[in-house]
Structure 1
Amino acid sequence: MPRIGAIFNPYTHSPDEFRGAVLAAEEAGLPELWVWEDCFRQSAFATVGAALAWTEAVRIGIGIAPMPLRNVAATAMEIATIERLFPGRLLPGVGHGVLDWMGQVGARVASPLTLMREYVPALRGLLAGEQVEVDGRYVTLDAVSLDYPPQTPPLVYAAAEGPKTLRLSGEVADGTVLDSGHTAAEYAVATTAIREGRAGAGREGGHDVVAYVVTAFGADAEARAVADVGDKPDPALRALWGDAAQVAAGAERFFDAGVDDVVLLPASRGDIGEFYREAGEVARRVASATR
């Protein structure tokens, strides 16, 4: 079923603002709040653990945490612990990380695709309670299993952009996180590649596609949204703006392109609490329309 979430952006808001933002999202009835872990801003797992402790209902997504920064067993332990503490409310995602940043900390890999191919299945296996053996180029696990795996393993998302990574995410992950700044037609190409990868791997069931979309509400909404898209062609096709009804209607073109979860990325200027209130109304409108 199509759904709506929103983002806490670590570039426009500091960790000191996070608690207030999370409480505003919960109060607004926002179903999902997503964060990401960019070097060298705020930790993904500490952030989501705090957010889940402060709230009762909102699901918290990590879109994404860089794979090269953590051993896959450590990532599995983080996710499993949070999932057992707050069952069913964590949406964990991993990705390559920005290569220059990975180089700064001595974690850059020569083949990010190989890392994802080894890392994501190992992570999913550990979270499923399996004993995992991997002797790969980047991932080595010798009869590793979690003592406290989740009762129900969460979906594991992978970030993807290029054609090869999109197909691989369909092959090895449970869901894919797509970055902002794309048109519905571009998302349609991406979702096709993801599902081709999944089908080619013989995997059954659905694959959850999450897309970040720059969004603005209120005064000068169109100008703010278009400005945040940048210098890409046809910026109006790459963003959403207006009131809740207009944004809900505009999101339909992304759902039609195969996106399951349109996650609203606040345009740079604006009150975050008011943004989440409007986003919560968008979510209610989308949910009501699909019942």
Structure 2
Amino acid sequence: MTSLGAVFRPQSPPEQLRAVAQAAEAAGLEQLWLWEDCFLESGIASAAAALAWTERLKVGIGLLPVPLRNVALASMEAATLDRLFPGRFLLGMGHGVQSWMGQVGARAESPLTLLREHLDAMRALLRGERVTCEGRYVRLDGVALDWPPAAPVPVYAGAKGPRTVRLSGEAADGTVFEASTTPADLRAGLRLIDEGRAAAGRDGDHHVVVYMAAATGPGAEDRLRAEIAAFGEELRPGLGAAGDAQTIAKAVELLADAGADSVVLQPTADEPDPVAFVRFVAEEVRPLVG
């Protein structure tokens, strides 16, 4: 059964997060995802607060940009959240938007190399291993977490371009696809993930999360069209959905049929009522999705 989630976008002020997280929990939503977009809201601080305000809801960060974080610190943060809220914290890492990374002096010459090194070291640390490595960007000397997770925390990689998607299969436990992904794009991406996993000799589960732009209520199609235009795309079949619960559920099913394990509904940046949106997803869309 495909998991369903929603995004609390950082365009909404941080003080709205509590109401959204608690509404999502009360309505029975499975997942709430947060972003660490520059220069809006912290992913770790927001996730810790949302987890503390709820008891069952899974809270994901998609994504933390690795150029901003030392891998040991990021692993300490992830391990702490998992031990405080076992099984409820979902972690996604990405190489960051390069223009933003340049603004803060953290732009890497090879973002893919940095992401690969970070994923390899982080996954080892979260398995409780002692890690020594001397990479191009990631360097550790006998580092081990004193309080590792009781069980390894899956680490997702955000991916868009073919090389990054393939890398997610090689070096991550799951992949997060952004909302410009159509069902056809997802099928092509899954082939690249499989290539990466085969090249790395990996087996076992690889969880696939796909964001889907969604709008409901007055002006929904116009708001979705503007959102898609912000991606540099035009509204076309398979790219987001606007309308009632049935229309949006059908679009979710298409992504599930293409291979998504979790579909996360992404409201438009100008969504007027984030609390109502998560209730809509949980109470009206969820019952229509198999």
Per the shorter chain, which TM-score range? over 0.9
C-alpha displacement of 1:241: 2.4
Q: Which residue of 2 aligns with 1:173?
A: 172
Q: Which residue of 1 aligns with 2:258?
A: 257
For 2:57, give the aligned amino acid.
V
Q: Which residue of 2 aligns with 1:269?
A: 271
Q: Which residue of 2 aligns with 1:238?
A: 239
Deviations 1:24-46 (A, max 9, x none): 11122110000010111111111
SS at match of 1:97: coil
Identity of aligned residues (%): 51
8 Å contact kept, 1:7–1:264: yes
Counterpart-to-counterpart distance in 1, 2:194 and 2:205 = 9
SS at match of 1:264: strand
For 2:245, give the aligned amino acid.
A
C-alpha displacement of 1:285: 3.2
Counterpart-to-counterpart distance in 2, 1:135 and 1:31 = 39
| Among candidates 258, 271, 278, match of residue 280 of structure 2 | 278
Matched, 1:161 2:160: yes
Residues 102-113 of structure 1: matches in 2 within 5 Å? Answer: 102-113=101-112
C-alpha displacement of 1:234: 4.4
SS at match of 1:63: strand
Counterpart-to-counterpart distance in 1, 2:262 and 2:58 = 13
Deviates more, 1:83-92 or 1:33-42: 33-42
Residues 33-72 of structure 1: matches in 2 within 5 Å? Answer: 33-72=32-71
Deviations 1:119-171 (A, max 9, x none): 10110110010111111000011111000000012210111111111100110
SS at match of 2:55: coil
Q: Which runs of 5+ in 2 are unaligned?
A: none
SS at match of 2:185: helix
Deviations 1:203-238 (A, max 9, x none): 001211111111012233233223321152443420
Q: Which residue of 1 aligns with 2:72?
A: 73
SS at match of 2:266: strand
For 2:244, give the aligned amino acid.
D
Matched, 1:98 2:97: yes
Counterpart-to-counterpart distance in 1, 2:128 and 2:271 = 44
Counterpart-to-counterpart distance in 1, 2:22 and 2:42 = 19
Q: Which residue of 2 aligns with 1:5?
A: 5
8 Å contact kept, 1:195–1:207: no
Counterpart-to-counterpart distance in 2, 1:54 and 1:234 = 36
8 Å contact kept, 1:226–1:239: no
Counterpart-to-counterpart distance in 1, 2:239 and 2:251 = 10
Q: Which residue of 1 aligns with 2:204?
A: 205
For 1:57, give the aligned amino acid.
R
8 Å contact kept, 2:215–2:241: yes
TM-score in terms of structure 2 length? 0.94
C-alpha displacement of 1:101: 1.5
8 Å contact kept, 2:4–2:262: yes
8 Å contact kept, 2:160–2:177: yes
Counterpart-to-counterpart distance in 2, 1:246 and 1:33 = 21
Q: Which runs of 5+ in 1 are unaligned?
A: none
For this pair of structures, how many residues does the alignment match?
Answer: 286
Residues 15-30 of structure 1: matches in 2 within 5 Å? Answer: 15-30=14-29
